Structure formats: structure tokens, C-alpha cells
Structure 1
Amino acid sequence: MESLGLILNIVITIYLVIEARKYGKSPILWGILGFIFGALALGIFLIRTNRKLIGWIITIISAIGYVALIMIFGLAILFLGSML
């Protein structure tokens, strides 16, 4: 499962590097952002390049995913702390 996320981030990074050159943006910056933040960086890039609808959809879905992940870790820590 972790390898799927890594592959997805690499694909997003390659896409952002190629597309950044077309729009006159820094490919190095967008490549780094794409590798670290994945779909969130892709959504923001799409918004910045006037593909707002799909950009906002991707940004909102990825933000909800990040919030859910943080909540799951928070709940896990809470439950593990109460067991000790």
C-alpha cells in the first residue's frame, strides 16, 4: 500500500515538472512540492494554471484525506495513552 502512494507521488512529480515548463513555472519547485505533498500540490498547480474546477476538486479531496489521516493518528495516540 505504501508503494502505491510512492508511485502516485512520483507520477504527480513527473507530471508537474513537465507541465511547469509549459506554463513558465519553476519545474524544480513544483517537482519538490509534488513529491512531498502529492495530490495537494497537483490541485494547487491546476488552480494556478486556470484549470480551477478540477484543481479545487483535487485540493479539497486531498485536504480531507490529510485531515482524516491526522485524526486517525490522534485517535490512535489517545487510545494507546488511555491503555497505559
Structure 2
Amino acid sequence: GMVTRSEEMKLHPNYRTGENYAYLGLAPQFLIFDEYVAFLEMLTTKRKTALLSQLKKIVMLGRQAGYFLIVACQRPDAKVFRGRYQR
């Protein structure tokens, strides 16, 4: 997935620090998380924290590798999407 692609990008003959997946001619990958809020409401606090940690990694590290997270829900609001993820 994303980590493997990041590692493979660094081995690419045209790799340059600071460039992203598009520079290497790679296609973007979209990860779609449907019914996000409903899923979160089913989780325990511990599992919710673990999930949010993983999603944060995808958002922060995925951009350069071309992995983008699309979150879908019935009613998005600031209570669910806080801070930098609101954009």
C-alpha cells in the first residue's frame, strides 16, 4: 500500500527529494471511507483513538505518495472534523 509505494518511490531512478508521486508518473490512489460518523459511533474510545491515529498517518504521509482519503458521512460538522482536517 502506501508505505510500500513510498519506499519504492525512493528507489525510482528519477526520484528527487521533495517531489511527489506525480513527478514519477504514478497515478493517485483514493481511499474512500463511507459512513465515517456511523462507524466511529460503534467503536470504543480505545479503538476510536487507534483508528484516528491511522487515518492521521494516511492524511499526513499519503499526500506525497499519492494516497488521498475521502471521508463520506450523512452530516459532516465541526464536532466530527476538528482542526486541520476540516479543510
- TM exceeds 0.5? no
Relative to its length, the structure with more strand (as a share) is 2
Q: Which has the higher contact order (CA 8 A, sep 6+)?
A: 2
